[in-house]
Structures are given as structure tokens and as C-alpha cells.
Amino acid sequence: MASALDPPPSLGPTIGRFPIAGLVRRARRIKGLGQRQMARFAKVSPSTVGKVEAGDMTPSLAVLERLLAAAGLYLTVVDQEGRVIQPMADREDVHDGAFRRYPSHLDTILDPEQGEWWGDIYGLARPPETYHRSSADREARRRRSQWEVRVAQHRNVPPPPIVHDYY
């Protein structure tokens, strides 16, 4: 008999707080598929479906996607509030001088105006695109933008300062 001090039983591999085995079983139940049918649609062996459902095997992301797709489901990424996160678009026409993408954590500025590029203070030739280097400035711009866009949410909040420093 298990006592209250015993650790909870392992649910096997998980995605976040959800056990993969339970997700695959739920997907199969939704579509009314047997393990062999799901395996055929997902192009895996029936034993793979059985091992995943038993928690004895952690499927690769590709296999998990195929198992869920067999039931008409797909994986998605959501933030803490449950909003779906869209991937960043790749722009093939925007690269630095060495043909690398700009860092994805920085906001790219196309056709920067005077003062938007750090090299302006040194009289350097302005590039066709650049980004804001200061994380504090970027965060201040985000706060100001959220305050301006989400009016109802910030009705009684004083406006954040406008950031003029671009480097």
C-alpha cells in the first residue's frame, strides 16, 4: 500500500506537464484508431506505438508529429497565457556584410534614419539595415509600445518614457 510520503509514479516522458503516452493514447481515441492503424498512418511499426503509449520509449519530435498527425492533430507552441506563438519569418534579402542573418533576439531596422544606427555618431556610412544593440533600450521601446497599443489595459498607468537613444 502506497503512503502519502511515496513519490508519485512516473508518467514517462512528457511535453511540458503532459505525458507523451497519454497524448498519443488520446489522439488514437479521438480518431478511433487501433495501434496498428495509427502505426500504418504514421509510417512507424506497431511496436513503436505500443512502446510510446506504455511510456517505454521517448519518440523523436518527427515521430511524435507523425503519430499525432495520424489522428488529425498537430503540435504547436503557446506562451504562458495559451496564445499560439508564430515562427519568425525568414527574410533572404536581409543579411549583414558577411551574409549572415542578424541576431534573432534583436529588432532589425530596415533603411535606418539619422540617429538609428550606432555608427552615426562616428560619421560612418549608414548600412541598408541594422538593429538596436542595447537591450535596455529595446525593452523600454517595448514597454512604451505596449502602453500605446493596449490602452484599456494601461488606462491608469503613467506612460513610460520615450526612448531617443538608439545605440
Q: 14-69 domain in CATH 2.60.120.1030?
A: no
Question: Could you report the per-residue pLDDT of 45-93, keeping only the tens digit for each?
Answer: 999 999 999 989 999 999 999 999 999 999 888 888 888 988 877 677 7
Residue 166 has what pLDDT?
Answer: 46
User: Is 30's pLDDT higher than 50?
Assistant: yes
Q: For residues 69 and 127, give the distance between their C-alpha atoms in angstroms, rounded to a whole number.
A: 45
Q: Structural domain boundaries of the chain?
A: 14-69, 102-167
Residue 2 has what pLDDT?
Answer: 55
Residue 123 has what pLDDT?
Answer: 83
Q: Contacts from 27-33 at CB under 8 Å and sequence distance 24+?
A: 27/67, 27/68, 27/70, 27/71, 27/73, 28/53, 28/71, 30/71, 30/72, 30/73, 31/70, 31/71, 31/72, 33/70, 33/71
